[in-house]
Amino acid sequence: MTLEWIGDAILILVVLPVVVYLLRGVLNAANSVVPSVQEIATAATAGSKDLDATALLLTTQDQVQKTIETAADYGGSLDVILDDAR
């Protein structure tokens, strides 16, 4: 009979607090991860939207190519018109 009471006491005074402590730690850790992950998700979504303008790089590529071609044409003409340096 005494052993049963001792077992009850251990169960209530030791096991229950330990279980509660450990589970609270796990819950706190999980809750602390949530905002960080949500921020990462928000940043990834915003970054993906920012990259929507990358399609304009194709336009930039064409414009740069045309600009260089025009500059090359002018350079060729200048090469003919102007005398070389002595």
Partner 1 sequence: MPAAGVVMIAAVVLIVLALVYYLVSTILALQKITNALDEAIAGVTGIIQKSEPVDEVVASINANLDAGVDLLEGLLVKKAGLSDAVGLVEGLYPGAAAEGFRNVPESKDAKAPRISEVYTKGTLTLARLGREAPIAAASPNGPALRNPAYGSLAARGLYPDARQTRPQSMPRSPIIGTDSPVQYEPSESPGTRKRMPGKAAVLEPTPQQAEAQEGPVKSGLAFLRRLKGD
What does the binding site for partner 1 look like in residue numbers (CB under 8 A)? 1, 4-5, 7-8, 11-12, 15-16, 19-20, 23-24, 26-27, 30-31, 33-34, 37-38, 40-48, 51-52, 54, 57-58, 60-61, 64-65, 67-68, 71-72, 75, 78-79, 82-86
**Minimum separation from the CB atom of position 19 to partner 1 (A):** 6
- Which tokens go with 36? 């960080």
**Minimum separation from the CB atom of position 48 to partner 1 (A):** 3
Which one-letter DSSP state was computed for residue 59?
H
Report the C-alpha gap between 17 and 44 in whole angstroms. 41
The C-alpha angle with vertex 33 and arms to 27 and 37, in degrees rounded to 5, equals: 145
**Minimum separation from the CB atom of position 34 to partner 1 (A):** 5
